[in-house]
Chains A and B, each alone.
Chain A
Amino acid sequence: MNSKIGIVIRREYLERVSKKSFIISTLLMPILMLAMMVAPALIVSMSTSDSKTIAVIDNSGFIGQHLKNGDEVNFVSVDIPLDSALARTDLDGILLIDGEILTKPSGVTLYSNGASSMSIEMNITSQIEKAIEAHRLKGYNIENLDKILNEVEATVSMQTFRSDQEEGSNASSSVLSYVIGMIMTLMLYMFLLLYGQMVMTSIIEEKNNRVLEIVVSSIKPSQLMMGKIIGIGLVAVTQILIWTVLISVVSGALLPVIIPAEVMSEVSAYNAGTINMATAVNDAEMIQAISIISNVGYVLGIFGFLLLFLIGGFLFYSSIYAAIGSAVDNIQDAGQFQSIVVFPIIIGLVLSMTVVNDPNSSLATIMSMIPFTAPMVMMARIPFGIATWEIILSLVLLYVSFIAMVWVAAKIYRVGIFMYGKKPTIKDLIRWINYK
């Protein structure tokens, strides 16, 4: 009997893995992901290259001299009335500063020719704030003010250590955890939807094709359903494993090449414990991040959990997808039922985005236990390091609900595959569960 499931699994697996589209997407996806990470940085560096020219009409006669030109903005002092300045088209903007600015800080107006950017506005306000603050400080007539200010000024870079873990010295980088958490969650989201839908469309196809009639005369419908789910699940696992290998190779071999030598030497010094963050020349956050990413054990650990939650989540959701696929005749009819699946998956994704800001909130803890959202929310939390028992409990709950869900789905499937024509309602599906 079990060997029959094996035959079905083999067919489902080989059919998909040998497809050209699978091979191409498996090899291309990591490249695409890499591009997605690099692209924002590229876009930022390109967009800042053209700086804006802003004319300053300074009625206070004070602020203008304190505005410094930067990468994105050039200030030009003009001595013309606002009306004629507004008529000029060669300017990107006109900054009008009120004469009473020192006592009334709200007296600043920016007339922008075209949309103004948030970063320019922040640049201007912070420069004006600093100028006014400096002016006001001077009013106190403090001796050696400049020297004091220089000594007081500090640029903060924070390191976080976990105090609740045994190897308490392990540095954790929140930013990196945030990024890894988001990537894991997005991957789960993508996999659950993509592969879950694959189960559904494949069942609809079998049903439309009428090949089902032949198959179920040799194998129980529930066995066929399980074989299909497992076969397609193995395709997903194969893809993840290939990606793990690719990413490990990239992070192991490529990182030292891409990253400047002096940064790498600091990373290895940091790993060896010979330097301390406070004395590091380069950005501490970055050193930590690189150190963690190039730690193969850490990467494998994260992927291990990803795999467990992916398999559990996939089995859980794909059994729902299987039940839906069996009940309808075509993809169009599946739409309404699909929201049963898509809705909680999206909720899980949205929750994960808030969860990464506070991974130990009670909302995060509860949602990472409920099977519908557990895979995504838990994967968002894991990079921050949470108690092992929580992860295990979440996994156990997920796998137990998967078994319950398969049982229900098999009952619907068994009836649904022989129903043609009328589109069933949710009520029909529930009634099918109770058929003998």
Chain B
Amino acid sequence: MDILKIENVSKSYTGHVALNDVSLSVPEGCIYGLLGPNGAGKTTLIRIINHITAPDSGNVYFDGHILNAQDVYNIGYLPEERGLYKKMKVGEQAVFFARLKGLSKKEATQRLKEWFERFDILNWWDKKVEELSKGMAQKVQFIITVLHRPKLLIFDEPFSGFDPINANMLKEEILKLRDAGSTIIFSTHNMSSVEELCDHITLINKSRNILSGKIDDIRNSYSPNRYMLTFNGDVTVLQSALTDLVTYQIESVPQSSDVQMFVDLKENTSLRDVITIANEKVDIRGIVEVKPTINDIFIQAVNSSNQ
């Protein structure tokens, strides 16, 4: 079941197309990475999902029905550019936002106290926001985003401004939310956190969806048949033996006489053939498949779609 389905959505502003026929599906209960270079159209897409702006054409389905204004109660959004009312007290402000998301004052206060206790920030309740540091304000914003237990959470660069300890804590909270049944859309430029957290990704470039799918499938489909062969022996002998079967790249391993060779299998070559030949010429220390990082895929996909 898809919690969110975007069908052929387009949106343009004067002289500028923000989204061009974008489609994607977000399965329920996953962490979905929404990636793309700056200005690709991610924010516009997120605003459409949040019912802030309407698409020029195309449909957005939420939980099986066409997205409507009531659905904002089931969506939580932590924007990249975020702030709070500076002069307002932390507790009062959190209650205000919770009430806008449909919670009663009593319920909001009770849930907020629980969260504040868990984050050990209960003594901030009566402080004004301007007294908080940036990281402290970020924590409050995170709580505000998730307080109404939305089915769909959208985090835009959630880790920016956090120190490693708090970033880790946040990561764990996000995973907990996923385990509790929320679906999470996660937009970031931090590719290592995408690899760590996301099950699915969509890559948007120049207002189009250029790559969409399960992260494992994508990594497998990108530059397949690349291996790293570690061996000890005469490099030139191996090179000349393999030259018809693979393209390669050689690196020496520091503080060791071992050599690492990255090999890309040519068409109609099997790994077995390569191992057989290599085994005759040198001492094989190990051989592993090399999957491209999301970072590599990102750069490769964006560059090829730009051409």
Contacts and interface: CB of A to CB of B under 8 A. Distances in A.
A436 B11 CA distance: 10
A7 B50 contact: no
Nearest to A1: B69
Interface string A393-436: 00000000000000000000000001000000000000100011
B83 A217 contact: no
A4 B79 contact: no
Contacts of B82: 210-211, 213-214
Interface in B73-126: 75, 77-79, 81-88, 96-97, 99-101
A221 B51 CA distance: 11
Most buried by B among A11, A211, A217, A219: A217
Interface string A3-16: 01001100100010
Interface residues of B, number: 28
Interface in A178-235: 206, 209-211, 213-221
Contacts of B56: 436
Interface string B11-29: 0011000000000000000
Contact of A219 (B77, B83, B84, B100): B100
B79 A218 contact: no
Contacts of A15: 85, 87-88
Contacts of A431: 14
A185 to B, nearest CB: 33
Contacts of A210: 79, 81-83
Given A1-B69, A218-B97, A211 B52 contact: no
Contact of A217 (B13, B52, B96, B99): B52
Contact of A215 (B47, B54, B100): B100
B188 interface: no
A217 B56 CA distance: 19
Interface in A1-47: 1, 4, 7-8, 11, 15
B150 to A, nearest CB: 10
Contact of B141 (A209, A214, A220): A214
Contacts of B81: 210, 213
Contacts of A220: 69
Interface in B28-78: 47, 50, 52, 54, 56, 69, 72, 75, 77-78
Contact of A11 (B13, B54, B78, B96): B96
A209 B79 contact: no
B144 interface: yes
A218 B100 contact: yes
Contacts of A221: 52
A130 to B, nearest CB: 67
B72 A214 contact: no
Nearest to A8: B100
B184 to A, nearest CB: 15
Given A7-B99, A15-B88, A217 B79 contact: yes
Most buried by A among B75, B78, B100, B144: B100
Given A7-B99, A214-B84, A214-B97, 9 more contacts: A1-B69, A7-B96, A8-B100, A209-B84, A213-B81, A213-B82, A214-B77, A214-B78, A217-B50
**Which are the 6 A-B pairs with shortest beta-carbon distances?**
A213-B79, A218-B100, A209-B83, A210-B83, A217-B77, A210-B81
